[in-house]
């Protein structure tokens, strides 16, 4: 496969130039948090981990994969859960045929599924709002999209249609409401406010008579400079100085009920370009301990904490290195997983399933083999309960 064919995937996680420009004045104070006392290291979990992944037919297609065949290959690996998305703009144009096939196939194979509903979904450009509803390019940079009453009403109608369509599918084990709703994302760094997120959550609760748990997830790279760029409230001096501050994780927990799930999307290395040079932003060394504290906070509130995305695919600064990445490797996948397990997480979904399959199809099975080894080691993990 030629590099132009993977260009769309590289764009999906490119750090915005605007964000980098905003960061420059803060680089001088970036090291301040390093002077804070080191936290106590978390203890590992004895029980095996429920290992899952995410899958997007759109991302599979951009790599030349047939989405049906790719999904069946993932089912054959016996992930404890696979996360899918309802893409609003696609449904608006083509109907639910593609998602119907995936959900029916999961039911046939008894493959547990998490389904994401709302305006945001898996992959670039993050927001998948039909042009017939709202022209997102007309919005201001960093705007709360839920400020538009007509968009709110249309989004709730789409969620209702989707929930009604799949709520009786026994493969469905949980709903995810939006994708990283409280983080700025996409080419315009848009976000969704907590008040509307609560409206979406309330709608799904009322519609789902099986009372499945709900998931709200947040981006957690754990590098102060780049994490602050994704924060909707901008730079937070208290967090720079090492104190607890408002965060997408805490705000996500606030909209969830007991038994619901806080999802964390964990990336430990992100490539970016600055002043014409390639750079790599790495997570601070204490990232597992910080994750452990978030898990403990969720537990004290009677809520679950999952890793909804664990980096297992490159996030490069340019497409030229996508086939020989600097940001991650098959060995790094194992290291990230062991740190997540040590931080006490018993459910971990890897990000990058389409990439592993593509690499295997092009003669490099190391990526999929790394995942297979983890699945084998965690094979005693309990299955997720099907609804019916």
Q: Tens-of-pLDDT digits for all 388 residues of the chain?
A: 443 344 444 444 444 434 444 444 444 444 444 334 344 444 545 689 999 999 999 999 999 999 999 999 999 999 999 999 999 999 999 999 999 999 999 999 999 999 999 999 999 999 999 999 999 989 998 899 999 999 999 999 999 999 999 999 999 999 999 999 999 888 999 999 999 999 999 999 999 999 999 999 999 866 655 554 444 444 444 444 443 444 889 999 999 999 999 999 999 998 888 888 888 888 889 999 999 999 999 999 999 999 999 999 999 988 889 999 999 999 999 999 999 999 999 999 999 999 999 999 999 999 999 999 999 999 999 999 876 5
Domain 3-30+48-377 grouped into CATH 1.10.520.10: no
- φ and ψ of 91, to 5 deg: -60, -40
Phi-psi group of 82: left, alpha or beta (phi > 0 → left; psi -120 to 50 → alpha; rest → beta)? beta
């Amino acid at each position: 496969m030629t590099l132009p064919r993977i260009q769309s995937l590289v764009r999906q996680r490119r750090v915005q130039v605007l964000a980098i420009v905003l960061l420059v004045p803060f680089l001088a104070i970036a090291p301040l948090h390093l002077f804070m006392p080191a936290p106590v290291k978390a203890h590992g979990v004895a029980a095996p981990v429920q290992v899952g992944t995410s899958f997007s037919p759109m991302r599979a297609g951009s790599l030349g994969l047939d989405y049906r065949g790719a999904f069946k290959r993932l089912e054959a690996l016996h992930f404890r859960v696979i996360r899918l998305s309802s893409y609003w703009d696609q449904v608006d144009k083509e109907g639910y045929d593609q998602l119907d096939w995936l959900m029916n196939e999961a039911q046939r194979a008894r493959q547990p599924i998490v389904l994401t509903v709302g305006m945001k979904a898996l992959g670039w450009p993050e927001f998948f709002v039909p042009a017939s509803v709202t022209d997102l390019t007309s919005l201001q940079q960093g705007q709360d999209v839920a400020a538009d009453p007509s968009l709110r009403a249309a989004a709730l109608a789409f969620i209702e249609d989707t929930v009604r369509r799949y709520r009786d599918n026994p493969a469905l084990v949980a709903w995810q409401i939006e994708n990283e709703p409280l983080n700025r994302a996409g080419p315009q760094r848009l976000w969704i406010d907590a008040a509307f997120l609560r409206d979406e959550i309330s709608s799904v609760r009322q519609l789902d008579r099986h009372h499945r748990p709900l998931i709200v997830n947040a981006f957690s790279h754990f590098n102060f400079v780049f994490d602050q760029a994704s924060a909707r409230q901008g730079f937070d001096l208290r967090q720079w100085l090492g104190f607890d501050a408002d965060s997408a994780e805490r705000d996500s927990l606030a909209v969830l009920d007991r038994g619901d799930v806080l999802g964390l999307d964990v990336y430990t290395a992100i490539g970016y370009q600055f002043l014409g040079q390639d750079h790599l932003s790495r997570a601070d060394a204490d990232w597992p301990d910080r994750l452990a504290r978030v898990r403990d906070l969720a537990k004290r509130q009677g809520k679950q904490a999952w890793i909804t995305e664990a980096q297992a695919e490159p996030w490069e600064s340019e497409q030229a290195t996508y086939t020989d990445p600097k940001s991650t490797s098959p060995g790094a996948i194992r290291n990230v997983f062991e740190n997540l397990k040590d931080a006490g997480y018993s459910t971990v979904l890897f990000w990058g399933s389409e990439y592993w399959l593509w690499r295997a199809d092009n003669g490099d099975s190391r990526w999929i083999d790394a995942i297979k080894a983890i699945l084998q080691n965690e094979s005693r993990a309990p299955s997720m309960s099907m609804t019916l």
